[in-house]
Structure 1
Amino acid sequence: MTKLSKQKKIELYQEWKIKGMPLLVIARRENLNRTALGYAIKLIDRYGPAILDAPHQTYTKEFKEKAIKQALFGTKSIVQLSLDLGLKSSGMLNNWLREYKENGYNVVIKQKGRPAYEQEGRTIAPAAAAEDSAVRRRKLAIAYRQCLYKKINCLGAETTQEIVQAITELRRTFKVSLDYIFDTMSNYKDLPLIARSTYYYTTSQSAKQDKQPKLTARIKEIFVYHQKRYGYRRIALQLIKEGWQTSVKVVRRIMSKLGLKANKRNRRKYSSYCGTVGKIAPNLIKRNFFALRPNMKWYTDITEFHLKGQKLYLSPILDGCAGDIVSYSISRHPNMELVLSMLDKAFVNHQALNACEFHTDQGVQYQSPVYQRALKLHGITQIMSRKGNSMDDGLMESFFGLLKTEMFYGQEYKYHNLQELTKAIEEYIRYYNEERIKERLKGLTPKEYRAQALKK
């Protein structure tokens, strides 16, 4: 963050504070480290822009000792503690901890400038040669306590795996035997310890190599190809569909080990309700959304996208059998033209609709006589949700949530204008219909399931 001027830092802070722009988006745009940017913005948010004018400060030995003690034995994170202390960077506290460890767990204030003439010729004996055994054991105990605090921020709630990891780190750092560590730890009753047999068993279990490297590689490929849209259940279905002998539990374990997590949904909703301006149809669906055959139950609604101060609207038709998108229309305005163009596209490819029930909310477009007349001409029965009850239109709302989670929320920086967003929506609907498998459809895509249902 030192390469940014004071004015630039204030501008970035205002974008985050006033405009609500995510830190990740700002960091990517400015090519900055997200952690460093987040700390600088939090520092300004707590102490105000005046913190940027504070002169360079030299910290005393007592101040550093107090800060290090809080970092090692307190419950606050390094970032939170650095903010409380008003440090210009969280890296300062990390450096103090590193130097504290390197200097034999002592705070050493470096002397600036060249050494005195009479001191230049002196040689310093290695510290390890004069180190006392009791001091070494004390250092080992402090390092052990520090390892556990770093993992769980407290003592008394450690798991066997965490204790094993701490002991292994000490063996590598201090280059001592396991017996030496256990003998040292046994003298400190407040430190948690496990049996030697437990240590050897746990390390042997964790040391086992991946027995299915090809499966692991394929899971990574599927996860990356679908852009974090597939969780472990859907990836397991895809693998089984491809002929792999695996299960949901195996895929979940491998993904957990690799740290692969699918995107979570973020819910926002556009509402077109303007009161009763036309004829209201009854709610015959009653949340029985799914149909046995295609073209028996259709659903539609309008959703809104916000991009760089502009709006884009999508109006799709979703089939209740396979959950596929029958037709859709995209426009800058949520008017009747948007809805009618969607209907025209649907009627071109689907003409036998006498038994079709078409479900919507009570939006102003669906109360229009023009819209209702178009449905009657094709023998479609119109159905509406109850007033102010979005759960009655839950299937359509679920698709909108899925769509925005997998290609829009948190990815707005990818689209420079509405034309690019329109192309991305069109590509996602193609992907959703033809490539994205569903657990409800037994591992088939909506297009495959629809074709299968029409053959019966």
Structure 2
Amino acid sequence: MQERQRRSFTEEYKRQAAELVVSSGRSITSVGKELGLRDSVLRRWVEKLRQEPAAAARRPTTQATPMPADQAAEIARLREENERLRMERDILKKSNRDLCRNPDMSFRFIEDHRDAYPVRLMCAVLGVSAAGYYAWRERPVNARATTNAALLAAIRQVHQDSGGRYGSPRVHAALRVQGRGASRGRIERLMHRHGIRAIMASPRRVRTTDSRHGLPIAPNLIERHFAAAAPNRIWLADITYIPTAEGWLYLAAIMDLFSRKIVGWAMRDHMQVELASSALKMAIQQQHPEGGLIHHSDRGVQYASQDYRAILSAAGITASMSRKADCYDNAPMESFFHTLKTELVHHRQYETRAEAQRDIFAFIEGFYNRASEHPSVYVVEEKRVC
């Protein structure tokens, strides 16, 4: 029986995992389960982080001055009013007015959201009576409605577990893995009826590849054949960017084409060779690849540099590069970056690079790498000259 390979972690990985516990306030057990780590291992990393002076300096030390009673009462009243207005806005946003033109659909919406909003408030916003809703609720439920209710609960769970990132195709795929035989059309109709949709956003554009250099260019060894027979046969590499209030944060990533998992990554405030080589070193340290591995990238100066080629050579890895100005030659990596941005980055406003690093680390290691399957349809951003 083959012995299970022991996981190896870089210092950057350890620090990001500990930061995720400290900054989020979540328990070590919760974060450890998300990242696939033992509590004892993660606790040791957290204790090391907390011993650092910088971590202690970030803890709040001042106490707030007591507020006058009348001012506190007014603030409480305003907060209550703001909360009511927020709930009304959310109800209008979540309810599809076309679906809620008849009372039955309005009652269905109220039933689905009764744990989140007051029933009478939803009735007032949707223009139906509370008495009518309660009468509707007492009617006998047929078998189809019961089945739909169970399926809807499963859809909501998958959607929630994905952080709201899954649309109907990926929800359908996840439910199929669970053994549920509902058709994609039925899942799509239920999601549409109940306002369950994937978060999406339009990407910003930045050039991340500089191929205007005289360094050696490797031949294209994969020719858009995006399949591998086993792990550590083909790795794909690329660099992308994340906006923060402090400036750009750059992410270099290495993907194993067989599993579609990100086996190496690094985040810096620059796009120099050290960024790309750090991601490569992490992948080598964690995967321990044997001979015959192909490393495919674009023609960027980072991947063509002498230092990067030396790391590849020392590990027995063969370099491969895309054709000039052709993002589709590295489509799976482009698709991963598209997923990262549309499902996470474009729905955040990062004040600091450290905040973005923690969020991206949690996405890669806690969500993306632990997903049961990844899309086989590639989405390439029209973002740059490759």
Give the TM bin, normalised by the shorter chain. 0.5 to 0.7
Q: Percent identity?
A: 31
DSSP 3-state at the match of 2:307: helix
Q: Which structure carries more relative contact order (alpha carbon 8 Å, separation 6+)?
A: 2
Q: 2:264 aligns with which of 304, 312, 327?
A: 327
C-alpha distance after superposition, 1:396-424 (max 9, x if no partner): 11110101111111322xx3321111011
Please give the alpha-carbon distance, in whole angstroms, between the structure 2 residues aligned to 1:259 and 1:302: 35
Deviation, structure 1 residue 257? 1.2
DSSP 3-state at the match of 1:421: helix
Deviation, structure 1 residue 165? 5.5
Equivalent residue runs for 1:186-205 within 5 Å:
none
DSSP 3-state at the match of 1:302: strand
Contact 2:299 2:324 in 1 (8 A): yes
DSSP 3-state at the match of 2:296: strand
C-alpha distance after superposition, 1:325-364 (max 9, x if no partner): 1111111111111122222222222333311111111111
Alignment TM-score, normalising by the size of structure 2: 0.58
Please give the alpha-carbon distance, in whole angstroms, between the structure 2 residues aligned to 1:259 and 1:403: 23
Query: 1:247–1:397: structure 2 CA closer, same or farther, 3 Å change rule?
Result: same
Contact 1:305 1:312 in 2 (8 A): yes
**Structure 2 unaligned residues grouped into runs of 5+:** 1-81, 87-96, 107-143, 378-386
Amino acid at match of 2:209: S
Please give the alpha-carbon distance, in whole angstroms, between the structure 2 residues aligned to 1:387 and 1:254: 45
Aligned to 1:373: 310
Please give the alpha-carbon distance, in whole angstroms, between the structure 1 residues aligned to 2:173 and 2:330: 28
Please give the alpha-carbon distance, in whole angstroms, between the structure 2 residues aligned to 1:353 and 1:304: 31
Deviation, structure 1 residue 309? 4.7
Please give the alpha-carbon distance, in whole angstroms, between the structure 1 residues aligned to 2:145 and 2:280: 56
Amino acid at match of 1:234: R
Deviation, structure 1 residue 266? 2.9
Contact 1:283 1:384 in 2 (8 A): yes
Amino acid at match of 2:158: I
Indicate yes or no: 2:173 matched with 1:244: no
Q: Which has the larger radius of gyration?
A: 1
Contact 1:233 1:439 in 2 (8 A): no
DSSP 3-state at the match of 1:222: helix
Contact 2:246 2:353 in 1 (8 A): no
Q: 2:346 aligns with which of 409, 412, 423?
A: 409
Please give the alpha-carbon distance, in whole angstroms, between the structure 2 residues aligned to 1:389 and 1:241: 35
Equivalent residue runs for 1:47-196 within 5 Å:
none
Deviation, structure 1 residue 240? 2.7
How big is the alpha-carbon RMSD for the aligned residues of Structure 1 and Structure 2? 3.2
Contact 1:362 1:384 in 2 (8 A): yes
DSSP 3-state at the match of 1:212: helix
**Structure 1 unaligned residues grouped into runs of 5+:** 1-29, 35-149, 152-160, 170-207, 442-456
Aligned to 2:249: 312
Amino acid at match of 2:281: D
Please give the alpha-carbon distance, in whole angstroms, between the structure 2 residues aligned to 1:392 and 1:438: 19
Equivalent residue runs for 1:389-404 within 5 Å:
389-404=326-341
* Corresponding residue pairs, total: 248
Indicate yes or no: 2:237 matched with 1:282: no
Aligned to 2:196: 260
Contact 1:277 1:364 in 2 (8 A): no
Amino acid at match of 1:381: T
Amino acid at match of 1:433: N
Deviation, structure 1 residue 440? 4.5
Alignment TM-score, normalising by the size of structure 1: 0.49
Please give the alpha-carbon distance, in whole angstroms, between the structure 2 residues aligned to 1:401 and 1:265: 10
C-alpha distance after superposition, 1:25-70 (max 9, x if no partner): xxxxx99x89xxxxxxxxxxxxxxxxxxxxxxxxxxxxxxxxxxxx
Q: 1:271 aligns with which of 208, 218, 222?
A: 208
Amino acid at match of 2:212: G
Deviation, structure 1 residue 286? 1.2
Amino acid at match of 2:191: M
Deviation, structure 1 residue 428? 0.4
Contact 1:265 1:402 in 2 (8 A): no
